[in-house]
Amino acid sequence: MRLDPHTTQRLVKALLWAFTGFTLLILIFIIVDISIKGLPQVTPGFLSQDSTDMGRAGGIFPTIVATAYITALAILLASPLGVGTAIYLTEYTREGWATRIIRFGAECLAGVPSIILGLFGFVLFVLKLGFGWSVLSGGLTLAIMVLPIIIRTSEEAIKAVPQDYRTACLSLGMSQWQTVTRIVLPSALPGITTGIMLSVGRSLGETAVLLFTAGAALRTPVSLFDSGRTMAVHFYILAREGISMPNAYGTAAVLVISILVINVVAYTLMQRLMRRYS
Amino acid sequence: MTQETSDKIRLEDLSFFFGDFQALDGVTLSIQPNEVFGLMGPSKSGKSTLLRILNRMCDLISGVRVTGGAWLDEEDILAPGYDVVQLRRRVGLVLSRPTPLPRSIYENLTLAPRLAGKKSRGELNDLAETSLRAAQLWDEVKDRLRDSALKLSGGQQQRLCLARTLAMEPEVILLDEPTSGLDPISTAKIEETLLELKNDYTIVLVSNNTKQIARATDRVAFLLMSHIIEIGKTNRVFTVPADQRTDDYISGRFG
Amino acid sequence: MMQREKFIERGLLLLALSSIGSLALITIFIFIEGFPLILSTGLKNFILSSHWAPTKGHFGILAMIISSVLVTLGAMVIGVPLGLSCAIVLAEFSPKRLKMVLKPTLELLAGIPSVVYGFLGVIWLVPLIRNYLGGPGLSLLAASIILGIMILPTVISISIDALTAVPDLYRDGSLALGATRWQTVSRVVLPAASSGIITAIILGMGRAIGETMAVIMVAGNALQIPTSVLDPVRTLTSNIALELGYAAGRHREALFATGIVLFVIIMILNLSATLITRRR
């Protein structure tokens, strides 16, 4: 049965839009469900109180601290490494075997599943180096996870800086490093910051890596060697052990909202910085 | 007879290759201090390449090879390990299109000098004013030095680039078709500036515009397809060219 | 001045080696911890036996390999048609303004943590399956559906990139010849974007195989080779995550060995994706 091409097109378009609509519905459903069941839980008390009774009651304050602590450590470690790598790749070398190896390393690293990173972090940081389940182990492993993201986004941002700027600086007798720090990096800052924010968003949702490196202690971590439970890990434990539905939803709501806010902030930050520097 | 003044710039049998393509072939010439030396020739004859060797900006391209010799004040600028950063402070370059930095006018002028060691506010202010005056831009921007340089018109930006180069107090100024794409007024202003600068600097001017060469230079070299065809005093070359090809080019029979 | 520059360059090179260095460290450690067990059990026994009883010294991961493969295939069946449709709609059939609203919305899907997907899967999807299709609900089917949804952002964004990279010249030429938009898309644009779309699919596969938390929550985690989609299953990743907490000695080594198998599979997938993009 040969269909007239216009009819085919109408049918196909209907099908495609149906699928797209279905996908959007799923997303909306997720956000609505979490909002309806979770937002009522998110009171100032919920956010500032300690967890009691294995999470059945009280708030999620320790997990918020742990999340901030571990994520901050990861970003602090991965940013210089990632931006430095990006600078080296774009400003100090030509395309050759060296750059190809480095890029290959970053790409492969990006593809390593989180459970393997968790295994690695467990054996190296928790066991062999003796850090135990701690903020330190979690932060170090998480840094390795976000490193490829920062490298990729920084490289794109640096490459987007017009070549004319570099030519002008160099012909004025500025050194390569002076050109990079005074002109190139400031111009690339919007893109680099966006990459860092994306890494933060990614870290917030990470569970498999942190469960086996930072552990699941419900206290508020103070030192680098304390164990701590991030919001995502806490949520997983609450959900899996069926400890408390309302608290699980509440934690999920805080998580999803934080990630949403960070993505929105990253986006608007990029827009505003782009306007200021160009 | 002893030579009183030595050459400012000397090139001997200079050849330049982009991979397999030869952009310059056996170029030999010398440029005297405080003269305006012109490089003329049709597109792709090698003029811009020659210019970029003089401040080692050719290093930025990958896969290039240079043979022969190039000297600034009898220093071998092609020697490995030669301080190219210092070279570029002594030999400034203005390109055919304006390249303002995304900073204020003041910062455009003072960033490089500050990094080269000039720290005092007073010195930098003076430097900015002197160079802007020399580039005939001072009156137009003196009240808005803190404005972004990107807001200036094309002609103003190009004069800013010239002022920026002057602010480094170089010995040599290289100009690669500096007025292409500019309005006649800006063009005239820049040519006027060049005539005044001659007293303090050595100037090398590349131009596709034979009339500009005739107006603004003391001596000129004619480059055709990577070879030097003729060198001499501008007046002489333009009235009685020694080579038929030079005559053809000047008369506009090709180019 | 030149000395300092050289020093800075060396320093940056050191930083740049961090990525390949970490990769090397990961590979080395996983292999050191897991390889002895593969040697002592024998590769054939390890991969081809489905008898996993670590406390008794039996380390066969076949059941989990099969489960991982089936779950991933199921995820592709669900994720690829949905994802490709969204990509085609966004890249070819939606006006600029709509695209600007839809694209970030769909990117939001990427930001939702996997554990949230798993959780909602347990609450909504699993009972649905249990009540209308039978079985315990925690099943291969549930895992495939959840994973399919989870890989949508990857498939969609890479496919959109592949589609938008096709020059408008191709489209204009086809339309000028009188073809409909859909004919243009199906016969000109899609083939031209095929290597990018295949890359999207392979990378989606990589994500699905590597996913752990969501799968643990909805797959049932039973140690068996599934005979129907309603059977509960345990994937390679789930196995590692479930048992690492209390494993010791040879048991722990076996989990690392499982990690090796997983690592190898994913590296092969990533390499083929890179090779395909490079060939085109």
Q: Which chain C residues have a beta carbon less than 8 Å from that of B81?
A: 2
A126-143: pLDDT as tens digits? 999 989 899 999 999 999
B partners (3+ CB pairs within 8 A) are A, C
What are the tokens at A113?
């599943």
- Three-class SS of residue A253? helix
Average pLDDT on A22-39 reads 88
Q: What pLDDT does residue A241 have?
A: 81
Alpha-carbon distance of A213 to A129, in angstroms, equals 12
Alpha-carbon distance of A23 to B111, in angstroms, equals 53
Alpha-carbon distance of B53 to B61, in angstroms, equals 11
Q: Which helix (H) or strand (E) holds B125?
A: helix B121-134
C5-14: pLDDT as tens digits? 888 988 998 8
* CB-CB under 8 Å, A94 with B85: no
B98-126: pLDDT as tens digits? 999 999 999 999 999 999 887 888 989 99
Percent of chain B with pLDDT over 90: 56
Grade residue C1 by pLDDT with cuts at 50, 70 and 90: low
Q: Are strands B172-176 and B202-207 parallel, antiparallel or unpaired?
A: parallel
Q: Which residue of B has its CA nearest to A187?
A: B102
* CB-CB under 8 Å, C33 with A263: no
- Are A215 and A228 in contact, with CB atoms under 8 Å apart? yes
Residue appearing with tokens 């016969």: C187
**Closest residue by Cα to residue C198 from C150, C167, C163:** C163
Q: What pLDDT does residue A67 have?
A: 93
Q: Which chain B residues have a beta carbon less than 8 Å from that of C2?
A: 81, 83, 85
What's A220's DSSP letter?
P
- Are C63 and C52 in contact, with CB atoms under 8 Å apart? yes
- The one-letter code for the residue type at A69 is Y
Q: Which chain B residues have a beta carbon less than 8 Å from that of A187?
A: 102
β-sheet bridge partners, residue B38: B205, B220
* CB-CB under 8 Å, B83 with C1: yes
- CA geometry: angle at C72 spanning A33 and A198, to 5°? 55
Average pLDDT on A88-103 reads 84
More confident residue, C209 or C94: C209
- The one-letter code for the residue type at A86 is A
Q: What pLDDT does residue A73 have?
A: 95
C partners (3+ CB pairs within 8 A) are A, B
pTM for this model (two decimals): 0.87
Q: What pLDDT does residue C6 have?
A: 85
Question: Is the CA virtual torsion B99, B101, B102, B107 positive or negative?
Answer: negative
Q: Are strands B202-207 and B36-40 parallel, antiparallel or unpaired?
A: parallel
- The one-letter code for the residue type at B72 is L
- Are A74 and A244 in contact, with CB atoms under 8 Å apart? no
What are the tokens at B23?
């952009």
Q: What pLDDT does residue A56 have?
A: 67
Grade residue A118 by pLDDT with cuts at 50, 70 and 90: very high
- Are A27 and C105 in contact, with CB atoms under 8 Å apart? yes
Q: What pLDDT does residue B1 have?
A: 42
Q: How far is C13 from chain B (nearest CA, A)?
A: 19
pLDDT score of B2 more than 70: no
Q: What pLDDT does residue C74 have?
A: 94
Q: Which helix (H) or strand (E) holds B173?
A: strand B172-176
Percent of chain A with pLDDT over 90: 40
Question: Is the CA virtual torsion B111, B115, B118, B121 positive or negative?
Answer: positive
A186-244: pLDDT as tens digits? 999 888 988 999 899 889 989 999 999 998 888 888 888 988 889 999 999 888 887 77
Q: Which residue of C has its CA nearest to A256?
A: C112
pLDDT score of B189 more than 90: no
- For chain C, give the mean pLDDT: 87
Grade residue C39 by pLDDT with cuts at 50, 70 and 90: confident
* CB-CB under 8 Å, A105 with C20: yes
Q: Which helix (H) or strand (E) holds B206?
A: strand B202-207
**Closest residue by Cα to residue B75 from B205, B172, B2:** B172
Alpha-carbon distance of C39 to C28, in angstroms, equals 16
Alpha-carbon distance of C79 to C200, in angstroms, equals 11
